[in-house]
């Protein structure tokens, strides 16, 4: 139980809540069973037959069960036939547990565990039996749902005497909060979630247990916010008529209202004497880099330095190129032909040559370079700053709290922090995952950005659609534009950043039939050059190429010397080529919703309309096709992030940003429980403001220590 379900103590077991409840009278719908998942169902045996094969040496028992909504076949082989043959007679009602698979196009459970449900005599007894709520627990092959129930029953003791077993529990909710909100006590909630008499019991228990999770988490975040606010920081106010003014004067366009509003929020934070901690989230292409650059220039004006941390070398180089282009002679401070109030903008990545690296490090320590853009290389010990005033982290979900702290420790005093993410995050997730940051949202696109038309291309059902897709790419190139073709894998059996896209669906049953590996850049490029895109200038780009080679390909693509770039997700973030108008994403079902939205944001960045084609072999009606349909139907990243979150386990989304804490969410659903999270955040902020050390709340401290212990432990595990 400890290994497979992470249940080590009696407390862990009591907090392992039922996933749902079956009423014996109201059978689980067999027609809704998810493939490839471990399920528990309550159903009635309709038919049971033994078949022989191998000349009578092999035996197979086939049992058909039904619940009125559908039928399901159970199969048992060999010696495993005897017990079910005796116990599963037609008419028998039982609980069955196993993994749903497909055989001969029919769903089945092979060798399921089962437990017959007795048929007491007497109308009242049958009625009571039929309406008892059966808790169905998250289970695994080694530990079935009813075995977990038996263990919990042992802990709780006889019905009606649970209070004794639950007496010593630590209750994290202060009495005043619990009573003020009309919530159940913890022993009552645990009794009702494991042994509900009615559905009202379940609702009451869940309401209380959601509060525990939301509140303890928000207290942890409120204390982190408070600790950060206690730190001293140097206020950074831009000087009038300095670098920022000169930069604004040379902009060929006006800022959007959103960019102006968010900039004001940031400059107000930078002017205070404690560190800014702000999350800047915005749609793909909403101009976040411009906002971040203006903040960096303001800090340089005030005598400090600014560092921008990017998740990949390609992105760091891209940022460096676009920032120096936007700044022009202002990025050549101290150089011949540079502007008087300019500054040096340096790049620092792990693969730079020794001489260039030495010069960059020197420019940082002397203060010659006001702005540095780099990868994780910036966090290394030997990197020293003259006076680090602002850290900008791009694509937050790739950096944990620890890396943020490591970079912040580079300043004489803690620098201000601006975190940018292009994956729009619903408000509740922002409060839960980034609860230690204030949030700014850029939700309007700069003028001049074009709409992107998105379509699903069902290559297997309608091969002529794929032929037409390549014709469309040729048409775009003929019109003077360029295109991307994105594949999940590099090829040549090389593992890479594109092998298992973040948040991608695991191979679904529909493609289990083919068992083919995801399409690869190297092979697809070769096929395109020989076939549908012959005569065009086609190049490849992936994470295993040498940095110089990658940069060279990217430079030539940006300069219009390459018509079509066949790439992995290395182009997902930040690559900005306004002339690229078409994107074909191969095996699009292998990518997550947010990732597809990110990739799509690489086209339509100029005045010409963008086109994104999502190619898939998935059959119509499959969940993967529904997901792609959702992406094609809307360009609203916030809406897609909700869909993404609803379709994936929240832990995937929540576990990316910070270690450990999020794995503690059991009943709290960050999308559905917005009100609870918002209210818990207010209560937590009030308690922490009143009693920062929580001296008056010993039980809350204990719960917090347990939560943070898990966080530390998981962080150490990750090494």
User: Rounded to an integer, what distance in angstroms lies between the CA atom of residue 72 and that of residue 63?
Assistant: 8
pLDDT tens, position by position, 546-581:
878 888 888 899 899 999 999 988 775 556 788 999
The pLDDT, as a whole number, for residue 312 is: 80
Q: Where does the pLDDT of residue 470 fall: very low under 50, low under 70, confident under 90, or very high at 90 and above?
A: very high
CA distance linking residue 352 with residue 547, whole number of Å: 9
State the Cα–Cα distance between residues 110 and 98, nearest whole angstrom.
7
What is the layout of strands, in order, in the sheet containing 388-394?
344-348, 369-374, 305-309, 388-394, 416-421, 277-282, 438-442
Kindly report the number of other CB atoms within 10 A of residue 476's CB atom.
Answer: 24
Distances (CA, A) of 123 to 22, 92, 120, 706: 20, 18, 9, 49
Q: Compute the distance between CA of residue 17 and CA of residue 194 in angstroms, rounded to an integer.
A: 7
Q: Which of 302, 308, 293 is nearest to 236 (CA)?
A: 302
Burial-class residue 282 by CB neighbours within 10 Å (0-12, 13-18, 19+).
buried
Element (H, E) at 431: helix 427-433
Q: Which residues contact 504 (CB under 8 A, 6 or more apart)?
A: 488, 590, 591, 592, 595
**HEC letters along 296-321:** HHHHHHCCCEEEEECCCHHHHHHHHH
Looking up tokens 């917090």, which residue turns up? 704
Q: Are 450 and 481 in contact (CB under 8 A)?
A: no
Share of the chain above pLDDT 90, in %: 28
> Helices (H) and strands (E) in the chain — how many of each?
26, 21
Asked whether the CA dihedral 164, 168, 173, 174 is positive or negative, the reply is positive
Q: What is the pTM of this model?
A: 0.64
pLDDT in tens, 499-532: 444 444 444 434 443 456 777 888 899 999 999 9
Task: Find residue 585's DSSP bridge partners.
Answer: 486, 614
Q: Express each pLDDT in 155-205 by its tens digit.
A: 888 877 777 778 778 889 999 999 999 999 999 999 999 889 888 999 999
Query: Contact 276/245 with Cβ under 8 angstroms?
Result: no
Q: Which H helix or E strand runs over 52? A: strand 38-53
Q: Do β-strands 20-23 and 133-136 pair in parallel, antiparallel, or remain unpaired?
A: antiparallel
Distance CA 160, CA 522 (A): 67
Residue 704 in 3-state DSSP?
helix
Q: Give me the percent of the chain exceeding a pLDDT of 70.
A: 82
- Give strand ranges (E) for 54-111: 58-66, 71-77, 93-103, 106-110
pLDDT at 649 > cutoff 70: no
pLDDT at 662: 38
Mean of the per-residue pLDDT values of the chain: 80
Residue with tokens 């950005």: 449
Q: Has residue 262 got a pLDDT over 70?
A: yes
Q: Mark residue 55 as left, alpha or beta (left: phi above 0; alpha: psi -120 to 50; beta: remaining).
A: left
Q: Residue 359 — pLDDT band, cuts 50, 70, 90? A: very high
CB 379 within 8 A of CB 350: no
- Identify the weakest region by mean pLDDT among 36-40, 440-444, 601-605, 657-661: 657-661
DSSP secondary structure letter of residue 86: H
Angle at the Cα of 699 (from 696 to 705), degrees rounded to 5? 105
């Amino acid at each position: 139980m400890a290994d497979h379900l992470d249940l080590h103590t009696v407390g862990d077991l009591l907090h392992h809540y039922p996933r749902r409840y079956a009423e014996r009278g109201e059978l689980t719908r067999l027609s809704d069973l998810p493939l490839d998942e471990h399920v528990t169902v309550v159903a009635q045996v309709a038919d049971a037959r033994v078949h022989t094969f191998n000349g009578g040496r092999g035996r197979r028992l086939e049992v058909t069960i039904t619940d009125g909504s559908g039928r399901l076949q159970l199969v048992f082989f060999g010696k495993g036939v005897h017990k079910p043959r005796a116990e599963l007679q037609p008419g028998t009602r039982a609980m069955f547990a196993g993994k749903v698979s497909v055989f001969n196009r029919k769903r089945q459970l092979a060798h399921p565990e089962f437990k017959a449900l007795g048929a007491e005599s007497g109308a009242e007894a049958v009625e009571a039996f039929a309406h008892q709520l059966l808790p169905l627990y998250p289970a695994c092959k080694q530990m079935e749902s009813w075995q977990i129930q038996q263990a919990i029953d042992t802990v709780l003791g006889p019905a009606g005497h649970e209070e004794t077993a639950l007496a010593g529990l630590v209750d994290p909710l202060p009495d005043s909060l619990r009573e003020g909100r009309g919530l159940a006590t913890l022993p009552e909630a645990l009794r009702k979630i494991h042994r509900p008499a009615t559905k009202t019991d379940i609702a009451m228990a869940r309401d209380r247990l959601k509060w525990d999770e939301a509140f303890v988490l928000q207290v942890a975040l409120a204390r982190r916010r408070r600790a950060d606010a206690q730190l001293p920081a140097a206020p950074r106010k831009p000087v009038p008529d300095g670098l920022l003014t000169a930069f604004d004067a040379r902009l060929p366009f006006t800022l959007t209202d959103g960019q102006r509003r968010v900039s004001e929020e940031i400059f107000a934070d930078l002017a205070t004497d404690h560190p800014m901690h702000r999350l800047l989230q915005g749609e793909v292409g909403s101009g976040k880099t411009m906002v971040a650059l203006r903040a960096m220039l303001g800090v340089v004006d005030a005598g400090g330095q600014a560092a921008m941390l990017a998740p990949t070398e390609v992105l760091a180089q891209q940022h460096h190129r676009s920032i120096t282009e936007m700044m022009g002679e202002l990025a050549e401070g101290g150089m011949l032909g540079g502007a008087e109030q300019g500054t040096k903008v340096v790049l620092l990545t792990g693969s730079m040559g020794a001489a260039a690296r030495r010069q960059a490090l020197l420019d940082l320590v002397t203060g010659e370079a006001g702005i540095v853009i780099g990868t994780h290389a910036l966090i290394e010990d030997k990197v020293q700053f003259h006076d680090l005033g602002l850290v900008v982290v791009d694509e937050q979900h790739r950096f944990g709290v620890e890396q943020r702290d490591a970079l912040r420790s580079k300043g004489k005093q803690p620098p201000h922090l601006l975190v940018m993410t292009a994956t729009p995050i619903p408000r509740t997730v922002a409060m839960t995952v980034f609860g230690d940051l204030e949030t700014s949202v850029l939700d309007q696109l700069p003028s001049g950005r074009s709409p992107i038309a998105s379509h699903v291309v069902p290559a297997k059902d309608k091969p002529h659609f794929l032929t037409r897709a390549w014709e469309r790419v040729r048409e775009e190139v003929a019109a003077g534009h360029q295109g991307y073709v994105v594949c999940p894998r590099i090829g040549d059996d090389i593992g890479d950043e594109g092998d298992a896209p973040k948040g991608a669906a695991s191979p679904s049953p529909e493609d289990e039939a083919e068992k083919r590996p995801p399409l690869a850049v190297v092979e697809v490029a070769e096929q395109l050059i020989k076939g549908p895109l012959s005569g065009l200038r086609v190049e490849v780009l992936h994470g295993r190429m040498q940095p110089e080679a990658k940069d060279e390909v990217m430079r030539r693509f940006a300069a219009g010397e390459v018509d079509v770039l066949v790439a992995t997700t290395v182009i997902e973030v930040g690559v900005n080529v306004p002339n690229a108008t078409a994107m074909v994403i191969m095996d699009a079902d292998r990518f997550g919703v947010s990732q597809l939205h990110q990739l799509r944001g690489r086209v339509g960045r100029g005045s010409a309309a963008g086109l994104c084609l999502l190619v898939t072999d998935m059959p119509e009606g499959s969940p993967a096709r529904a997901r792609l349909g959702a992406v094609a139907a809307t360009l609203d990243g916030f809406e897609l992030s909700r869909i993404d979150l609803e379709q994936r386990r929240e832990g995937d989304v929540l576990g990316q940003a910070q270690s450990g804490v999020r794995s503690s969410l059991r009943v709290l659903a960050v999308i559905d429980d917005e009100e609870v999270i918002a209210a818990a955040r207010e209560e937590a902020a009030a308690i922490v403001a009143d009693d920062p050390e929580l001296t008056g709340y010993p039980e809350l401290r204990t719960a917090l220590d347990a939560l943070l212990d898990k966080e530390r432990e998981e962080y150490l595990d990750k090494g």
